[in-house]
A = this chain, B = another copy of it.
Amino acid sequence: VTPVTYIPVQMQKQCVSAAERIRGKPYEAFFDTELLVPADRLDLIQRGPMPEAFHVRPNPVDVERSIREIDAFPDAGWALVDGSVAFVQSRMFMPGVTVEIMRWWFLWHANEPERYSLWFPHAHVSNTVSDRDRYQDEALSYGERLYNNTNTVLEYIGPSLVGIDIHFQSPEELGLNPAFIEAGGFAFNASAWNAPSFAPDTAFSLMIHLGRDTEQGFEFISRYWIGAHADLNRYPGGEHAPAVLETMGFGPDELEGLAYELSVHDMTEFHHLAGFLPDLYRKFS
């Protein structure tokens, strides 16, 4: 691992605010502002976009194929796909983390913005859950609490503060084949379709987070698409994405820049989370 050498000014300032806000919380000791990233990822994301062989489209067939053939893919990468959608992919192993711990984290962190800030102190501003009572109801299953219970996050991706409505759903609801999930042993899922908070009826993003326990720790597989693509039209309002992107002033160059920023964000936040999550779980679960 190696220290992060660049943090946008807005994120530097957000980290200062978050450090003040978290003071006195019982989990304050887990607020760590030293960001480290895996050194072996850098060459994968700092030397331009992935070649076309690794461009995956946001439809179930291509998603499943890319995960079945995961050993052939680089462990991290980004690209502009079909000229209109940012694509980011990553795979990491988290020693000491399990499916159970990661499920706990997804249900625990959203209850307070201070908890959310542990994950990425410089970038994570707040997370509001649509049906808070259901989210907190320990009599319900993970899926009953998380799925179709919108998380509205406010976070920096690079220098931009973005509001995103995250609609977590089961793999099946998102269109993945149950046989694929079962064959892969993906006991963990935090996949979703997303809308910008300013245009909540427009799906402009698909996010796949699947995980499984392995001997090297929790294997975490992520795929993100943000933008407009015919394959996103299966999600609510996906057909309005081109108009929303135009409102945002996002053409191909901006989308490609966003893909790289999101790749850096993903690498940073999940590596950071993996560092403190086992201890946090032991203390607060």
Contacts and interface: CB of A to CB of B under 8 A. Distances in A.
Interface of A: 2-10, 12-13, 15-16, 37, 39, 42, 46-49, 159, 256-257, 260, 264
A34 to B, nearest CB: 9
Number of identical monomers bound together in the oligomeric complex:
2
A257 to B, nearest CB: 5
A48 B3 contact: no
Contact of A8 (B9, B16, B257): B257
A48 B12 contact: yes
B6 A5 contact: yes
B256 A5 contact: no
B37 A257 contact: no
Contacts of A42: 3-5
Contacts of A46: 4, 6-7, 12
* Interface hub of A5, A13, A48 (most chain B Cβ within 10 A): A5
Contacts of A9: 48-49, 256-257, 260
